[in-house]
A and B are shown apart, each in its own frame.
Chain A
Amino acid sequence: MVEKHLIRQLKELADIQPRKDWVVLTKRRIFADEEISEAKPGLLSFFPFFRYKLALVPIISVLIIIGLFGFTQNTVPGDFLFSVKKMTEGAQVTFTSAIEKPKAHLELANKRLEELNNIAENNQVRNLDPAIKEFQANVVQATKEIMAMNVSVTTSDSMVLKDIITETQKLEENKQKVEEVLATVIGDTQDLRNAIVLLEEQLVTQLIADLENQMLTEEDEELLSEAKEHYEKEDFSQALYKIWLIHNY
């Protein structure tokens, strides 16, 4: 059954109604033998107030300044001052918006991969295990942030989501290279891949629905049609690629 016809049929089911006499009798039953009582006014409700982490701001600012002076720029996991670098990076992530947090964590994960590459080249064996753990932690955090996302249709959000997907592809490529160099698996990114597929599916569903309500050129209609074909085959990344061509991303 064609989808539009099915939807029309479903809307016909909306005509299902209860018996009129039952509706009237039930209403009477609900209010029968009830004592009349007015609801008392509630207590004063407190407006929620915003808590600013004021105590942390100057500490974080100092740490950011330290980072800026480059004291910790070249440290890698396992080094004494790496924890300071990590706190600086963490502070930067804290002040990003919710939708950009996954990208920030993915960028950190990619940074850890670069460090792992350097560690391998310089034969810094004692730094290897901490670096792998840091990489895995960033991947886990990025995955959690992506799973918690609420996909939105605004243009800027859509571009951020594109960046997230691109950053993840970059991470997978870099991870593979590092694993070849180290001749060892440095972590499982299956959960991240699953989260990205779900994100792509959500994004494609929304973008296709939006495009269907817009006036498109013939060329864009063709691209939309191709996107829908990919979507039906559950090839969401290809569907997104077609949609991004329509949006000229």
Chain B
Amino acid sequence: MPNSRKTYSSIYDKYVDKIYRFVVLKVKSQEIAEDLTSEVFLRGWQSFKEKKDKIENMQAFLYQIARNLLADHYRQSSKAQLVSVEYAPITDSSQDLEEKAFLRSDLEQVKAALANINEDYREVIIWYYLDELKVPEIAKMLDKSEGTTRVLIHRALKTLRNELK
């Protein structure tokens, strides 16, 4: 397998879950999330072939493609960004059934609340708490200072907490 394809194949394996999760928490359905995520990686592949050496941070690059595609999707659908609660299967087999049921209802509330807060807050929450990106990485993607990004994360969590009250 040629080097570029091999490298990009590794990149795909590394980031497909994260990009999919980022997208599925923002759109209405699993099918749409799959379509958009496929498109992210297709476009990523085209860019990777042309300017591989110029992409400093592949993760940030893929997230940016995802954000752009989501923006186009929202424009075309002109609908509110809803979390596809029922189409975001969570796979975790470590708890018993009762605890799973309890957690699932809690999680459904959190997902629903996440859908109700603004886009900027939702993004930083996904990146910081779910994808465990560091503040400097998030700041760079948002083109903001690290201090402002920390404040944004704090405000986002506070807003989400208030949404759940």
Which chain A residues have a beta carbon within 8 Å of chain B's beta carbons?
Answer: 1, 3, 6-7, 9-19, 22-23, 26-27, 29-31, 34, 36-39, 42, 148-151, 198-199, 201-203, 205-206, 209
For B33, list chain A residues within 8 Å (CB): 18
Q: How far is the CA of A148 from the CA of B145 in the complex (A)?
A: 8
Bound form: Cα–Cα A192–B111 in Å: 39
A16 touches B12 (CB 8 A): no
Cβ–Cβ < 8 Å partners of B92 in chain A: 12, 15
The answer to whether A15 touches B91, judged by C-beta atoms less than 8 angstroms apart, is: yes
Q: Which of A6, A15, A26 sits near B110, CB closer than 8 Å?
A: A6
CA distance A84 to B110 in the complex (A): 62
Given known pairs A6-B160, A17-B17, A18-B17, the reply for A12 and B38 (CB within 8 Å) is no
Interface: B65 (CB within 8 A): no
- Does A30 lie within 8 Å of B41, measured CB to CB? yes
Given A30-B45, A149-B147, 19 other A-B residues pairs in contact with their CB atoms under 8 A: A3-B157, A11-B130, A13-B110, A13-B130, A15-B91, A16-B24, A18-B33, A26-B38, A27-B9, A27-B12, A30-B8, A30-B12, A38-B3, A148-B145, A151-B145, A201-B151, A202-B148, A205-B150, A209-B150
**B interface, over-half SS:** helix
Q: Which residue of A lies closest to B41 (CB)?
A: A30
Q: Which residues of B contact A30 (CB under 8 A)?
A: 8, 12, 38, 41-42, 45
Given A1, A12, A148, A205, which contacts B90 in the complex, CB threshold below 8 Å? A12
| A37, B4: Cβ atoms closer than 8 Å | yes
Contact status of A14 and B157, CB under 8 A, knowing A9-B106, A22-B34: no
What size tier do the contact residues of chain B reach?
Answer: 35 or more
Residue of B nearest to A5 (CB): B106
Determine the distance from Cα of A201 to Cα of B42 in the docked complex, in whole angstroms.
41
**Most A CB within 10 A of own CB, among B103, B131, B150:** B150
CB pair A38 B21 closer than 8 Å: no
The verdict on A16 contacting B129 (CB below 8 Å), with A1-B161, A9-B106, A205-B154 known, is no
Does B96 lie at the interface of the complex (its beta carbon under 8 Å from any beta carbon of A)?
Answer: no
